[in-house]
Amino acid sequence: MHANVQKVKAILDEAGLHGRVRELSEGTHTAAEAAAFLGCEVGAIANSLIFMTERGPILVLTSGSHRVDTDKLASRIGVEAVGRATPDQVRAATGQPIGGVAPVGHVTSLPTYIDVELAEHGELWAAAGIPASVFEISYQDLVAITGATEVTVD
The pTM of this model reads 0.93
Torsion over CA of 89, 91, 94 and 130, rounded to 10 degrees?
140
pLDDT of 85-101, one tens digit each? 999 999 999 999 998 99
How many domains are there within the chain?
Answer: 1
Task: Tell me what the pLDDT averaged over the chain comes to.
Answer: 93
Percentage of the chain modeled with pLDDT above 90:
79
What domain range includes position 147? 3-151
Cα separation, 73 vs 61, whole angstroms = 12
For position 122, what pLDDT does the model report? 85
We report the CATH number of the domain holding residue 144 as 3.90.960.10
For position 12, what pLDDT does the model report? 94
For position 66, what pLDDT does the model report? 87
For position 19, what pLDDT does the model report? 67
